[in-house]
């Protein structure tokens, strides 16, 4: 079977041939690889080609593909039922694990995706505060929630404008878009409008404009100002939860949000999301309170089992330092090679995630990200793909490594990177 043939067949029945736009390779050109299997750090496509996988299903597969503990958990669960639509002890175990690992989460509810988690958290924040406006930051992505698919409008008070067809401007105008890492801009805005804000939502480490690391002062100002104005602070940790430590990194350094959204890793590769936080806020959720939120497959036992197995491996093996080291060495080598060849390359990385930007200097803001050479990224991407290395098919996505990425794979990947940098 050819990837091209499959893509043609897919396009005849699925819009654009894919179920999520970035999979279509539009930002880098070419034909998406149709995957028939995966194992450890590898993906296998329909043409029988093997790739070292640095996408990892966009983040969930921190243990690599087919980790034996996760597979066993799923097999066992499949034999006893895949969904009951009734409560299970597994949900309690997952909730207990999360509440223990992330102290700011006192109560948590499970949903099926990150998008759902964010959407529900916003509804809750609006109900709790009795206010409508939400603040987000340019370059952060929080799923395809209507009110967050917005970009900054013009004017001093920049109410958002729709960033996609199908979002009414009245809904977009419920969102204000500010600049990531801009402490003064945020303080000034809150001084004027803070009393109208229901919630400020942020990726505490941004992973949807490549990787952009937060200034500590920026996160601190979010906490201080929201508290002062009676707005809620929501950390969207769909990518970052359980990625840098067993829990939430900001929570560990004393930056406690009111609500947190989770997904990806906590589902171990099964569809999952979660939102949780202060118990006085979570108490507003139905059936305890008046905020309606529900799901046929929410907290389903397959996702809970895969998540519990993944978290148990992370808790007992504590692979975080090793992941950081694995990625750090890879990045170091990539940068050294780029600089030898006079190719401008900035890489932001922390833990198991990295953002690759073909540009000079530091990348700390969305405006910085926009300066990067996306054509060069596309060439780099294809040179690596030809060499059996699978990066995200977009310059604005994150590179991930897993615990299954051993010395052998990383050495092979480095050789491929050196060759790729030589020809782009
Ligand atoms: N929040 C963040 C930070 C994300 O990165 C994503 C997806 N990449 C989402 C929310 C939405 O999650 P999902 O795709 O599971 O709906």
Please tell me the distance from the alpha carbon of residue 315 to that of residue 349, in angstroms, as a whole number.
Answer: 22
> Do 246 and 315 meet the contact criterion of CB atoms below 8 Å apart?
yes
Q: Which of 316, 334, 358 is the last residue of a domain?
A: 316
CA–CA distance from 31 to each of 15, 101, 228 (Å)?
15, 41, 51
Token digits of residue 119: 């959407």
Whichever domain contains 84, its CATH number is 3.40.640.10
CA of 419 to the centre of ligand 1 (A): 33
Please tell me the distance from the alpha carbon of residue 232 to that of residue 202, in angstroms, as a whole number.
Answer: 11
CA of 417 to the centre of ligand 1 (A): 28
pLDDT of residue 160: 84
Q: Which of 294, 316, 338 is the last residue of a domain?
A: 316
Phi, psi (rounded to 5 degrees) for 12: -70, -20
The tally of domains found in the chain comes to 2
- Shared domain for 91 and 234, answered yes or no, is yes
Tell me if the bond preceding 287 is cis, omega within 30° of 0: yes
Token pair 């092979």 in the structure block, residue:
412
* Segments forming the whole domain that contains residue 154: 68-316
Other CB atoms within 10 A of residue 20 CB:
9
pLDDT of residue 159: 75
Checking if the pLDDT of 155 tops 60, the result is no
Please tell me the distance from the alpha carbon of residue 190 to that of residue 304, in angstroms, as a whole number.
Answer: 39
Checking if the pLDDT of 265 tops 50, the result is yes
pLDDT of residue 156: 45
Average pLDDT score over residue span 82-109: 98
CA of 149 to the centre of ligand 1 (A): 12
Closest ligand 1 atom, residue 140 Cα: 3
CA of 262 to the centre of ligand 1 (A): 9
- Shared domain for 233 and 102, answered yes or no, is yes
Query: Which of 58, 148, 208 for a ligand 1 pocket mutation test, highest count of atoms within 8 Å of Cβ?
Result: 208
- Shared domain for 260 and 400, answered yes or no, is no
pLDDT of residue 252: 75
- Shared domain for 57 and 204, answered yes or no, is no
Checking if the pLDDT of 157 tops 80, the result is no
Please tell me the distance from the alpha carbon of residue 191 to that of residue 258, in angstroms, as a whole number.
Answer: 20
Sheet holding 399-400, edge to edge: 346-350, 353-357, 399-400
- Shared domain for 149 and 186, answered yes or no, is yes
Token digits of residue 393: 């098919």
**133, burial (CB in 10 Å: exposed 0-12, middle 13-18, buried 19+):** buried
Picking from 347, 270, 211, 248, the residue whose alpha carbon sits closest to that of residue 57 is: 270
Query: Which of 145, 208, 263 for a ligand 1 pocket mutation test, highest count of atoms within 8 Å of Cβ?
Result: 263
Tell me the pLDDT tens digit for each residue of 18-65: 999 999 999 999 999 999 999 999 999 999 999 999 999 999 999 999
Closest ligand 1 atom, residue 20 Cα: 14
- Shared domain for 211 and 297, answered yes or no, is yes
Tell me the pLDDT tens digit for each residue of 313-366: 999 999 999 999 999 999 999 999 999 999 999 999 999 999 999 999 999 999
Q: Which of 292, 316, 340 is the last residue of a domain?
A: 316
- Shared domain for 238 and 113, answered yes or no, is yes
User: Which residues are annotated as catalytic?
Assistant: 141, 236, 264
Tell me the pLDDT tens digit for each residue of 102-136: 999 999 999 999 999 999 999 999 999 999 999 99
Whichever domain contains 390, its CATH number is 3.90.1150.10
DSSP state of 163: S
- Shared domain for 254 and 368, answered yes or no, is no
Picking from 248, 241, 245, the residue whose alpha carbon sits closest to that of residue 207 is: 241
Tell me the pLDDT tens digit for each residue of 279-305: 999 999 999 999 999 999 999 999 999
- The alpha carbon of 238 is separated from its chain's Cα centroid by a whole number of angstroms, namely 5
Checking if the pLDDT of 143 tops 70, the result is yes
- Shared domain for 206 and 325, answered yes or no, is no
Query: What kind and span of H or E run contains 300?
Result: none
Average pLDDT score over residue span 378-389: 98
Checking if the pLDDT of 78 tops 70, the result is yes
Tell me the pLDDT tens digit for each residue of 213-241: 999 999 999 999 999 999 999 999 999 99
Sheet holding 50-53, edge to edge: 35-39, 42-45, 50-53, 389-390
- Shared domain for 150 and 253, answered yes or no, is yes
**Range list of H helices, 168-242:** 169-172, 183-193, 216-229
Please tell me the distance from the alpha carbon of residue 56 to that of residue 33, in angstroms, as a whole number.
Answer: 14
- Shared domain for 131 and 218, answered yes or no, is yes
- Shared domain for 100 and 166, answered yes or no, is yes
* pLDDT mean across residues, the chain: 96
pLDDT of residue 251: 80
Checking if the pLDDT of 153 tops 80, the result is no
pLDDT of residue 253: 78
**Ligand 1 — pocket residues by CB below 6 A?**
58, 113-115, 118, 141-143, 203, 207-208, 236, 238-239, 263, 273
């Amino acid at each position: 079977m050819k990837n091209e043939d499959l893509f043609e067949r897919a396009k005849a029945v699925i819009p654009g041939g894919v179920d999520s736009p970035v999979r279509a390779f539009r930002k880098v050109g070419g034909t998406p690889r149709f995957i028939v299997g995966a194992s450890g750090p590898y993906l296998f496509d329909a043409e029988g080609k093997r790739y070292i996988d640095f996408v990892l299903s966009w983040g969930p597969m921190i243990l690599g593909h087919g980790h034996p503990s996760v597979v066993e958990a799923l097999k066992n669960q499949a034999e006893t039922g895949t969904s009951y639509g009734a409560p299970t002890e597994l949900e309690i175990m997952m909730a207990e694990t999360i509440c223990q690992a992330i102290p700011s989460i006192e109560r948590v509810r499970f949903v099926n995706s990150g998008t759902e988690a964010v959407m529900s958290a916003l509804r809750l924040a609006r109900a709790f505060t009795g206010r409508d406006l939400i603040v987000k930051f340019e370059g952060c992505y929080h799923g395809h929630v209507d009110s967050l698919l917005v970009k900054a409008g013009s004017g001093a008070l920049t109410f958002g404008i729709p960033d996609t067809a199908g979002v009414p401007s009245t809904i977009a105008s419920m969102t204000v878009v500010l600049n990531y890492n801009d402490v003064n801009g945020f303080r000034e805005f809150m001084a004027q409008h803070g009393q109208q804000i229901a919630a400020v939502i942020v990726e505490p480490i941004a992973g949807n404009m490549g990787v952009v690391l937060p200034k500590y002062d920026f996160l601190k100002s979010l906490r201080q100002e929201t508290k002062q104005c009676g707005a809620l602070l929501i950390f969207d940790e769909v990518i970052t939860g359980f990625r840098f430590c067993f829990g939430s990194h900001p929570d560990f350094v004393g930056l406690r949000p009111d609500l947190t959204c989770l997904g990806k890793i906590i589902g171990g590769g099964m569809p999952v999301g979660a939102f949780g936080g202060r118990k006085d806020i979570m108490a507003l959720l139905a059936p305890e309170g008046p905020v309606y939120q529900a799901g046929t497959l929410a907290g389903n036992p397959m996702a809970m089992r895969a998540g519990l197995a993944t978290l148990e491996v992370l808790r007992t093996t504590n692979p975080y330092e090793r992941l950081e080291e694995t990625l750090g060495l890879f990045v170091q080598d990539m940068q050294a090679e780029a600089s030898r060849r006079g190719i401008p390359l900035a890489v932001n990385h922390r833990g198991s995630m990295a953002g690759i930007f073909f540009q000079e200097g530091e990348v700390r803001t969305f405006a910085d990200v926009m300066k990067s050479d996306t054509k060069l990224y596309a060439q780099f991407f294809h040179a690596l793909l030809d060499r059996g290395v699978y990066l995200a098919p977009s310059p604005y996505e994150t590179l991930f490594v897993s615990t299954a990425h051993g010395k052998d794979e990383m050495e092979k990947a480095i050789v491929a990177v050196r060759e790729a940098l030589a020809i782009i």
